[in-house]
Structure 1
């Protein structure tokens, strides 16, 4: 019954493929250290060997393309460190490493120190593009920091002699490898900077192992290049070699010869450019000469005898004078005719104002008479209304002995029955006013009642 639920079996090829996938995905980027043994080189140029230590070994395959990049061929017994694709050779089910890079054992510590110093300098902005100086197009002197015994010096000097034999070269000699060489290289760069004898400085050496080039990865050299006031071109090792001096230099050249080509103008190229410019200049000058000749010929044809030109100018003046006289005469006649027509139109349109003047005089006379009559009538009417108004004036009534009695709210008292004892009253006479108070509510007899 349990066999019914058992998982399906896999084939050997499927097992090896699965194992290879697991190994490649989980063991990527490892460096493995050990000793080379059982080294064989096939006719195709591929290397096959075992990498072992005192307890185990692993099969390795180094293909021809990768082997060609090694500084030196592998030898039996070499102690190396390698990295590559860790997996299984499926055809035989053998665990193996397909090598992609090899370095001598012990270089791992150097590489770690290299990366640590590189990260530190990069965080400080030492490699920043904005701090790099431009190379002069036509340097007056070229400085070289390298060893006098180096083949790189001969390559640089021969290149400069071929390209720019007229530019002086100043060499600042220094050892380029060995113990303490980084300090001597830094001192040579500092000397060149302090003297300021050159317009550009080449720091170079030929190819070699990573240990041979290591002085150019040391901090004193990097700091000296950073502080150098002269543009620096690095040409250390081969094109595949990269040192910290390459990163801090203003320009990196793949080789010392390349550095010499970068800093020097190509004399032959300059001569070719000069010859090309000379040819263009000749062409332009010749064309300008032809243009000027044609213009001169045309001007020569335009030249005439002064008497002929003077006669033509006199004829032109006479024609202009006649034209001016005719134009002025025509304009004068036109304006005279226009003035006559305007005068006739004005006389025709002038109104007859004699009758209007008589009507205005009659109207003015009548206006004066009517105005005086109106004023007299209004004056008489005003006098009558003044007499009538004076007759009904309250003041006139008061002067006859009457008075006006008002309560405290200003209301006129017309009936004694509305008065109350102690009530305050205001009496207006013909001449003056007075405040009184009611002392009795008894009705006084009529002054004119004699019954």
Structure 2
């Protein structure tokens, strides 16, 4: 009520998150679980295991997501262009404001005849009153013995036995074995129900099997099974398939459980009105947690696609950097070689200018008494003491008159 008032208030300004949350609530409350058919396009199987695709017909299309916890139960993988029938609920991806369908089950088109047969039998049995609450038998609060009707090799049997042992190990269990899948199995299931009813050894019967396709569960949609359940004198709990699987057996049975494990919980002594309320709360919380997990999972898929683009850019930059490093190495090597050549040339030039090299050729240079280089005879006087520097050392000398050396 508060949300509706907020929407209608002229002064209320919604945030985008509030608007999208309200839109999701309205859509999900307005559309129950339904079937839709179309052609698959733009199919993407994400690394997370989720499937993203569109369902389209000649006039429109709608975005769809099938999460891993749903598509893992399929016995086939769809591809582009497949004509399919999908069981779905309307969903709204708040983070991006996108309308979409959350697919619970997917099958190839052409199974419509099975659903027509299912609906015809459902309407027929309903009109005869087989689904009426008046025929539903109450469960014993403290059953002395529990019967199970299923295959001895079924995984569902192990789940049920494990649950019964955990909740009330003192209650004896009787198995009425029967195949639960294959041609002609409906007759065998009905026979097992009749046997359990006539022997009257148990206070409650659990009819169960694991999940599967509509063909796998079809024996529980057969009229002979429905009438055997209706005629049984012992209360029957139907625990067939998964939470979203509904069979004719579910409608006729005295109680319907979403899974075989839940059927075992319903049959045990502490199952009462309070527990029924707790189960409703548990299922509501479970759906909300699943939505939050799936929502975050979609966000992760979206971010992973964005991350791929920066990774490609990083690779391009890395390649560019490698090229620049190679060019820098080549340029550095060339520059070093040029400088080494110049150093050699300068060394040679320096060697030519080295006074020691001049002395090697027989020359000498003159220093006065102060050790200063004498570069001109004008600065010398007769009798002045000087030093003559040769290549292998120096010696003292005295300046004599130049006339002494004239011929």
Higher RCO by CA contacts (8 Å cutoff, separation 6 or greater):
2
Decide which structure has the larger Cα Rg and report it. 1
